[in-house]
Amino acid sequence: MSTVGSPISRIPHHGRRILVIWLVSSVVAVPLIIWLLGPQLPPGRMSSEAGAQTDANTVLTAVVAPIVLLILVYFTYALIVFRARGAAIEDGRPIRGHAPTQTLWIVATSAVVLALAVWGSYALIASAHGAGGGQGPNPVAKPGDAGQALQVQVIGQQWNWTYRYPAYGNVETLQLYLPVATAIELHVTSLDVTHSFWAYELGVKADAVAGVDNIAYVHPRKVGTFQIRCAELCGIWHGHMAQTGHVVSRDRFRTWIAQQQAAEHANLKYLPPYSRSYYPEPLRRAG
């Protein structure tokens, strides 16, 4: 029986249409993602580490977009072109599968996922020096200027953040100020339960654990403010454990830290001796 004019004979024609629509959509969408959407993707470019993460997010989105478009174009085309028309509705031919197409899909998507995993890991660990998660007391990936970095201790506690500056007499402050264009070595720890220090616009997130000195590096590149959140459920007031950090000029930082030293000098005697980590005080913490 001849199949000329039947739906089966027209499949190659529809395949070419789908391919053309997909290619045109991808050619339009990918540049728009790179040039328009990319600069708006989180976490921004307030630090070198944040910029590396934004670049990674842009690349990931641009690579995934054609895959998503292929699925959307195929299903939209099928719903419009192959829908049943008229009063007579019959079941279509049973689908038995197409081994070459299935093999190509598995191989192509696996290659994309593996390539993105390798590249993303390099971008977020090697080029950003592990700022995304902290690396414990002995970081493996250190930036070249780690030896000249300004050390700042970040202390999580129920339910607030405080900060100590070892280079300035171990003064402890209620706000985080960082000088711009300076390598910063954050030592993240806790006085009680586990917290997670998340400086959103700086692209830094590191767990704050009692008895652990968790180090993360960051290089602020722009003056401005950034959000600080606790990203680990730490108790009833976890949602209120939020602050605003500041990246300021070096002169402004020197003025601010001198003011803090003068204001907090009388309180230093009430603080525990400076240490890279602390342990909970059962009599003082509610848990």
The residue that leads in pLDDT, 5 or 136, is: 136
The residue that leads in pLDDT, 84 or 221, is: 221
- What pLDDT does residue 14 have? 80
> What are the structural domain ranges in the chain?
9-82+106-127, 146-270
In DSSP notation, 177-238 reads EEETT--EEEEEEESSS-EEEEEGGGTEEEEE-BT--EEEEE-B-S-EEEEEEE-S--STTG
Asked if residue 123 lies in contact with residue 52, where contact means CB atoms within 8 angstroms, the answer is: yes
- What pLDDT does residue 92 have? 66
Write the pLDDT tens digit of every residue in 71-101.
999 999 988 888 777 766 677 677 777 788 8
Alpha helices, DSSP H, located in the chain:
11-32, 48-81, 99-121, 250-264
Asked if residue 200 lies in contact with residue 43, where contact means CB atoms within 8 angstroms, the answer is: yes
Alpha helices, DSSP H, located in 33-165:
48-81, 99-121
Asked if residue 26 lies in contact with residue 61, where contact means CB atoms within 8 angstroms, the answer is: no
* Whether CATH 3.40.1410.10 fits 146-270: no
The predicted model gives 191-212 an average pLDDT of 92
The residue that leads in pLDDT, 66 or 5, is: 66
Q: What distances in angstroms separate CA 240 from CA 132, 175, 230, one per listed residue?
A: 22, 15, 9
Asked if residue 53 lies in contact with residue 216, where contact means CB atoms within 8 angstroms, the answer is: no
The predicted model gives 148-170 an average pLDDT of 94
Write the pLDDT tens digit of every residue in 32-43.
999 999 999 999
Q: For residue 126, what pLDDT band results from cuts at 50, 70 and 90? A: low
Q: For residue 277, what pLDDT band results from cuts at 50, 70 and 90? A: confident
Looking from the CA of 236 toward its CB, the CA atoms found within 13 Å total 2
The predicted model gives 185-194 an average pLDDT of 93
Residue with the two structure tokens 């997010």: 57
Residue percentage of the chain with pLDDT more than 70: 88
Q: For residue 174, what pLDDT band results from cuts at 50, 70 and 90? A: very high
Q: For residue 11, what pLDDT band results from cuts at 50, 70 and 90? A: low
Q: Residue type for 280, please?
A: P
Write the pLDDT tens digit of every residue in 101-121.
889 889 988 998 999 888 877
Q: Residue type for 251, please?
A: D
Q: For residue 286, what pLDDT band results from cuts at 50, 70 and 90? A: very low
Q: CA–CA separation, 62 vs 59, rounded Å?
A: 5
170 pLDDT above the threshold of 70: yes
